[in-house]
Structure 1
Amino acid sequence: MSYTVKMLVVCAGLFPLWPWGASAGEIRFSRSSQWRAWSAPEGTIAISPDGRVSPVFIRKSINAALNADQFSVLGDFGDGEERLGGIRGAGTNLRMAGLILDGDEETFWTPAVGAALDDWWVEVDLGRAVSATEVAVKFARSGNPFSMFQVFVSTGEEAVYFGSGLKKYSLLAETTRPNTRYELTYPLLPQDVKLSGRGELTFRQFVRFVLFRALRTAENPRLAEIEVSALGDNIVLDSEQRGGGALIAPAGGDESEPPTFASDIIDGNYNTGWNSLGNFVGDPKRWGWVNIDLGTLFWVDHVRIITSFEFTGKRNVPVFGYKLFASDGTRSSGAGAGEFIDFDDLVWEEIAELEANPAPERFIFEEHLTPRKVRYLFWSNRNQRRTGVSTVREIQAFGEGFIPGVTLTSGLIDLGGAKNLTAIHWSGETPPATRLVVRTRTGNELGEKLHYFDKEGNEYTEKAWNKLPPFKREKEPTVELIPGAGWSPWSLPYEYSGARFQSPSPRSYAQIQVELISDDPQRAPTLSSVALEFTDPAAEQIVAEIVPRVATPGQMEEFSYFIRPSFGSGTRGFDQILIRVPTDPVFRGLKLDHEEIDPVAVRAAADSLVVTLPTAVQSAQVNFATQVFLNATLFEGFVRRSAEPDSWQQIDPGDASPDALGDDLRVFLPASSRGLQTPTIDPAVITPNGDGRNEQLTVCFALVGLEASRQLRAAVYDLGGRLVARLRDQSGSSGEYALLWDGRDGAGNMVPPGVYLFRLSIDSDEPTRAFTRLVGVAY
């Protein structure tokens, strides 16, 4: 079968080599059209016309009518149709009705000439139910206000019964005398439920529809705007489009069953909901819980839980208790690797609790929080008062500030064959408390992933797609190109722009990932460009291994570094080898194709050894000596043509010689030798009298095998245990150290002659942690 190749998601697209054309040997991304081909969670980045990328700003106190057309609800009245927000209907002059949502107070809707009074109405659909605070009605000053009118609001709840298609409206405002004002504002009641004289329960803060209806004709009436002030951007909406969503507890709290997806409480539709079963204590993972993945990090300071007392005439059981947890996505130590992120997989913070809900019971719950970064929300129904099902209509979350963590990923970059990637550059702005984090990965093979669609663009599993009638499905699946076998994991973050390329190279394909991170809600980084530098490879592949694989810590050790290149068409060979070493190396010899030979030049530095070869070779062996202080020290290697200074090609670990075992470039230390190595002290007695002999104490020692920095303390005490002088109290990592003491105390005064105690220690779990020695002072 032949497949139609259609790049559905950004990472499926292949960025070809030459069209970027900034200069030979460079691929650059800097234009807005290029950034739009990168992938990011939907709605999280803004791209300026001049090609700058920044996180979106999440707002408080919005007019929810202005962007109503950006939201839609699927099947809100049981008909399965998706409806975009905006104007739901108008009794007359429908073509002008959209002008009341454009933010322009000079444009307007007015009834058509001759239209009957019964047709003088217009209905607004916000596209989602919002937490509203007030509704404003504005009239254009180029005409007259409507004289007598009513304003209704609705959650979207259907009247009479579910599926009736009739909305249940509540009267918000009604003029009692002719109006002459051009702007009127109607606050929504702060409480969640109001019992009116007719016994109707009205949810005033949760609004999706607004209906304006004239009660009396007027001359030249012009409605300019209907505004709905809301708490802010509800960041729970569009969680699924960002790659997140909501998972709910399996029926009956059976943990052996997988959780199920539940869009009904994050879809902005009051007609859908989740029936949450309570009546338990203890484990928050049992019974009625929902785990919401927002799809990316947001600043959150306000969460609302919307339940219903009554729906289409039926009463619901209140929520009598709950717990609310938040997580920024930090994984717990025992996190699993499954498809679903379980409660136990994340580090959670309990941010709110409802212990009781006494009569008259509440049905809308507000939780105001200190602003924090949140990726996941976990809500558990802890209904211990009585057994029953509580219907949760929506869970909303709000905050203010730039999205604190957005990941932007390039498509698969086709390098036009194997290329030696040498460096990565980027530019942008990073105000205080912000940063750009850049990673890469590479590979040589591509895989395929098939996607199955119907004629309307809805995606199905292969099994479900095959069950569709042929006239409803696309003739062929769509092929997405994805990283294939052998791709490297994402690299560690690059420390600076222009850094050496870290992912395996040479390779035929590459991918770039940039995180835009902020720790301040009011500040955000901006990304302007990213560029990869490359050259033609010196060899198709170069592998190396080192022997011995285990070294004595802190001692000069003899090593052999075996190198085997594989050449092919288009490769140009190399004449220099660079080996990264932990300490100053000593060159011992060179073998080319198993024969000892003198190098053209050798350059030894504190962290590297560079050997220049007289000729191209099929194999090489570099012998040198150095000291190892850190377990699993990596001896990275590179080769290049000396005539091209920026052409260093990375050496991969592999089988380079039958004389070496291990196929690796790491050297290990015995576990028993890690920690503080025995210091040397010279002289044992100092005579700081100014004659130039034995004036100061020198302590030399090494820290070995420390995976991270540890606090290092060195001090001199008198024999009574009193501190005389502090020589060091700061962090230290694996390596060699030297400390000096000139016989003075902490105040700078010469100490009396006598015997003193020198003590050296590190904060570590390694076997050797402290050292103590008597030293003398004489004059």
Structure 2
Amino acid sequence: MKRFIRSQRLLWLFILSLLIVPDFALYAQTSGAATQVYRVNRRSQWQQWTFPAGTLDFGLSGSLTPARYKGLHNAALNVGAFTHGLAGGRQVSGGVWKAGSNEAAAHRIIDGDSTTFWQPDADAPLEDWWIEIDLGRATMVTEVRLIFPDEEGARPFREFRVFGSEGRRVTRNDVFSFHLIGGTTRPIEETLVSYKLDPLVREARRVRQSSEGVDDAGAATDANYDLVQFIRILVDAKTADAALAEVEVYTPGENIALGTLERGGTIQERAGRGFAFKMADGDANSDWGARRERGQDPIAWDWDLGTLFWIDRIVFRTSDFLLRTLVYGSNLPHIRTHSLSVSDGRRTLTGAVDYEELFVGDAASLLSTSSEFPGQVTYLFAPRPVRFIAAEWISSGDGSFQSQSGFLIETLVYATGHVAQVEVTSDFIDLGRIDGDNRVKVIDAISWVADLPEGAYIQARTRSGNSLQEIYTYFRKDGTEVTKEQYDQMPNALRGPTESVIGAGTDWSEWSNFYQRSGERFRSPSPRRYLQIQLILGSDRPETAPTVHSMSIGFTDAFLSGVQGEIQPRMAEPGVEQLFSYRIVPLPESRDT
């Protein structure tokens, strides 16, 4: 028996000694073969990689950094980046929506340049001295500022009013209900006029508290705000040379809820009630509503933001127009009792998202001194990494179905600092095509040049293979994805389109372990013709982020396509000492010599 154990040990020691032989020994490269380098260091190259939309900033030198989100800023400067649908279905971008006169110069009031201005036509009647701005999306606004020129031929408006609208239509056409934000009570000569906004609906503001009962350190407690998409400025008195230079519309931050679907995220009501994605589209004309009947599952939705953000504010909002006009009669669309939970993406042992409840369902905190539920709820907490958000509507216990209904026209999620973590994955890198001979390569090492401020990190991993294949996806006519078997058995009238993409072949490896530092030897199988690289860029604090200047892969020609090991004999008699041989068989391509 001892001899048998000894022979087993000798066998495994022999095999292990062969397995740790370096690649360059097994695939003996041709003499004088030089290491070549595939390098990514240009914006056009990085943009071919896959990453959640809007989560990276690209430098002029070809670097990339997790995107940074602005806090309080002028939302009028980027209105053109947002689009929405009109009543007839046509899509339009934000901008100057309408003007009573001199439309050609109207865009100047949101160009960021206070030396340019719009002047209403002096010959037009007073009722044509007005202008409207479309912010492109419904967003929270804290303040509206009007800046006037004061020079020869261009003087401030003396008397005027400023109106705002959440953008919900009051008819089937693009007609909106406006409310007064502010205006003059006497003729003025000031060149800067500012109006603060308060919500038209009753707001409940909840700040997360620690276990000691004190407010969460770092939670924002700033000014009030209201939901606004359209701003109208109406001149009340004609004066000579009247002109308006700039309209600045300040918002507390960037609402990253708007890009959820583009980033690959999802929003789903757990029981399929209502269209939850409509509460994150920046459009006050669409909404999510759900009602729990007796015996049904609780109303709840789960939201995947598409990547990890530093979040410090979440706002629930219903429609001020619906509340003011009593469209719903006695069943007003207030925001009723619910809980709010978040997760950074960690999973439980069963694979479910591991949520932490930030705010419990507390009717008293929503009702406060009122007998009426609020139309706007703001949740404030110290910045934390968030990938998933969940809310669940809770019965008040009085048996009323109204207390178990949910309704929101918008949920706004505000990020602070840089994206907390983002995955960036290359396309299939064809080293054979890059080298021009379409052959496999011995891949030497992976390297990168990067800046890593305190708290920032870079993780990299790879996979490799020798073949690509076309992968098909099948759909029903309603857009539901199905398997090939389901598609083949489906009547032709129900079949939708099929889509195909180029994907990894069956010989590809799994993703490697993470590289710990730049310059490490390649961890995936080699030689191979194709490889993919995945970078994970992140930081443990919102104010810092890594910057990658370049990424490179070193490779050389392979003398052989690969090798295959063979142990002889295949069988051994227990207790009998046996001599084993290990034979390495080359796997040549037709052009291997």
TM over 0.5: yes
Contact 2:73 2:253 in 1 (8 A): yes
SS of the equivalent of 1:207 reads: strand
Note if contact 1:323-1:381 (Cα within 8 Å) is conserved in structure 2. Answer: yes
1:102 is aligned, of 111, 118, 140, to 111
Match in the other structure for 1:131: 140
Query: What does residue 381 of structure 2 align with?
Result: 369
Task: Name the stretch that deviates more: 60-69 or 108-117.
Answer: 108-117
**Contact 1:46–1:53 (8 Å) recurs in 2:** yes
Which one has the largest radius of gyration?
A: 1
Change (3 A) 1:241 1:467: farther
8 Å contact from structure 2 (residues 177, 321) kept in 1: no
Instruction: Report the CA distance shift for 1:172/1:245 in structure 2 as closer, same or farther (over 3 A).
Output: same
CA distance in 1, matches of 2:552, 2:91: 42
Instruction: Return the match for 1:297 from 308, 319, 322.
Output: 308
1:327 counterpart residue number: 343
- Is 1:404 aligned with 2:433? no
1: distance between equivalents of 2:567 and 2:356? Answer: 47
Query: 1:224: how far off?
Result: 1.3
Q: Is 2:456 the counterpart of 1:434?
A: yes
2:231 corresponds to which residue? 210
- Distance in 1 (alpha carbons) for counterparts of 2:457 and 2:305: 22
Shift of 1:346: 0.8
Matched-pair contact (CA < 8 Å) for 1:306–1:365: yes
Q: Give the CA deviation at 1:267.
A: 0.2
Alignment deviations for residues 330-352 of structure 1 (CA, whole Å, 9 cap, x no partner): 122111xxxxxxxxx11110011
- Asked if 2 retains the 8 angstrom alpha-carbon contact of 1:26 and 1:532, the reply is yes
Aligned CA distance change for structure 1 residues 506 and 363 (closer, same or farther; 3 Å)? same
1:59 aligns with 2:70: yes
Q: 1:494 to 1:362 in 2, by over 3 A?
A: same
**Corresponding letter in the other structure for 2:394:** R
Distance in 1 (CA, whole Å) between partners of 2:359 and 2:569 is 57
Cα pair distance change 1:187/1:548, threshold 3 Å: farther
* Partner Cα separation in structure 1 for residue 385 and residue 183 of structure 2: 43
Taking the aligned partners of 2:395 and 2:318, their CA distance within structure 1 comes to 14
Shift of 1:546: 7.7
Cα contact 1:319–1:381 (8 A) shared by 2: no
Compute the displacement of 1:91 (Å): 1.5
Q: Deviations over 1:643-677 (max 9, x none)?
A: xxxxxxxxxxxxxxxxxxxxxxxxxxxxxxxxxxx
Measured at CA, do residues 273 and 537 of structure 1 come closer, stay the same or move farther in structure 2, by a change above 3 Å? same
Q: CA deviation at 1:280?
A: 8.2
Partner of 1:525: 546
Distance 2:567 2:286 in 1: 64
User: Residue 440 of structure 1 contacts residue 490 of structure 1 at CA under 8 Å; is this kept in 2?
Assistant: yes
Q: SS of 1:50's equivalent?
A: coil
Shift in alpha-carbon separation, 1:218–1:332, aligned structure 2, 3 A: same
Higher helix share: 2
Matched letter for residue 188 of structure 2: N
Residue 252 of structure 2: SS of its match in structure 1?
Answer: strand
Equivalent runs, 1:282-361 vs 2, <5 Å: 286-308=297-319, 311=322, 313-315=326-328, 316-335=332-351, 345-356=352-363, 357-358=366-367, 359-361=371-373
Counterpart of 2:456 in structure 1: which amino acid?
Answer: T
The amino acid across from 1:355 in the alignment is: D
Distance of 2:472 and 2:231 partners within structure 1: 44
Whole-Å separation in 1 of the counterparts to 2:414 and 2:444: 44
Equivalent in the alignment of 2:394: 382
- Counterpart CA distance in 2 for 1:205 and 1:84 is 22
CA distance in structure 1 between the aligned counterparts of 2:285 and 2:416, rounded to whole angstroms? 28
Change (3 A) 1:280 1:309: farther
TM-aligned CA distance change 1:45 to 1:393, over 3 Å: same
SS at match of 1:507: coil
The CA deviation at 1:387 is 0.7
Shift of 1:248: 1.3
Residue in structure 1 matched with residue 183 of structure 2 by the alignment:
174
Tell me which amino acid in the other structure corresponds to 1:271.
N
Other-structure match for 1:505: 526
Query: For each residue in 1:222-242, what CA deviation from the matched residue of structure 2 results, as whole angstroms up to 9, or x when unmatched?
Result: 211111111100111111000
Give the 5 Å matches for 1:224-263: 224-251=245-272, 262-263=276-277
SS in 2 for 1:438: strand
Render the CA deviation track for 1:391-426: whole Å, top value 9, x for unaligned. Answer: 211111113111110111111111222111111111
Residues 230 and 545 of structure 1, relative CA distance in 2, 3 Å threshold: farther
What are the residue-to-residue correspondences of 1:11-160 with 2, within 5 Å?
25-75=36-86, 77=87, 79-142=88-151, 143-159=154-170
Aligned partners of 1:423 and 1:498 also within 8 Å: yes
Distance 1:565 1:215, change over 3 A: same
- CA distance, structure 2, for counterparts of residue 547 and residue 80 of structure 1: 73
In structure 2, relative to structure 1, the CA distance for the partners of 1:239 and 1:547 (3 Å cut) is farther
d(CA) in 1 for partners of 2:60, 2:580 = 56
Determine which structure has the larger strand proportion and give its number. Answer: 1
Q: Structure 1 segments of 4 or more deviating over 4 A? A: 278-281, 449-453, 459-464, 476-479, 545-549, 558-562
Q: How does 1:530-569 map to 2 (within 5 A)?
A: 530-544=551-565, 563-569=584-590
Partner of 1:11: none
Partners of 1:559 and 1:321 in 2: CA distance? 74
Matched-pair contact (CA < 8 Å) for 1:193–1:204: no
SS of the residue corresponding to residue 140 of structure 1 reads coil
1:446-525 superposed matches below 5 A: 446-449=468-471, 480-525=501-546
1:507 & 1:489 partners in 2: Cα distance? Answer: 14
Q: Select the structure with the greater relative contact order (CA < 8 A; seq sep ≥ 6).
A: 2
- Matches of 1:222 and 1:444, distance apart in 2: 67
Amino acid across the alignment from 2:271? P
Superposed displacement of residue 220, structure 1: 1.5
Q: How does 1:760-779 map to 2 (within 5 A)?
A: none
Deviation, 1:543, is: 3.1
User: Is 1:443 aligned with 2:465?
Assistant: yes
| 8 Å CA contact 2:145, 2:192 repeated in 1 | yes
Cα deviation, residue 261, structure 1 = 5.7
- Following TM superposition, by how much is the alpha carbon of 1:249 offset from its aligned partner in structure 2, in angstroms? 2.6
Q: Which one-letter code corresponds to 1:370 in the other structure?
A: A
- Return 179-188 or 92-101, whichever deviates more: 92-101
Residue 50 of structure 2: SS of its match in structure 1?
coil
Q: Residue by residue, what CA displacement relative to the aligned partner does 1:109-158 show, whole Å, maximum 9, x if unpaired?
A: 11234233222211111111111111111112332111111110000112
Amino acid at match of 1:100: I
| Counterpart residue number, 2:196 | 187
Deviations 1:91-118 (A, max 9, x none): 2222222221121111111123423322
Q: Distance in 2 between matches of 1:151 and 1:569?
A: 78
* In 2: Cα distance, 1:452 partner to 1:213 partner: 54
1:604-683 equivalence runs, <5 A: none
Residue identity matched to 1:153: G
Instruction: Provide the TM-score with structure 2 as the length reference.
Output: 0.78
Distance 1:544 1:568 in 2: 17
The RMSD of aligned alpha carbons is 3.2
**Against the structure 1 CA distance between its residues 130 and 309, is the aligned structure 2 distance closer, same or farther, given a 3 Å change threshold?**
closer
**CA-to-aligned-CA distance 1:49-76 (integer Å, 9 cap, x gap):** 111100111121121111111112235x
Q: Report the Cα distance in structure 2 between the residues aligned to 1:243 and 1:129, rounded to whole angstroms.
A: 22
Q: Which amino acid aligns with 1:429?
A: D
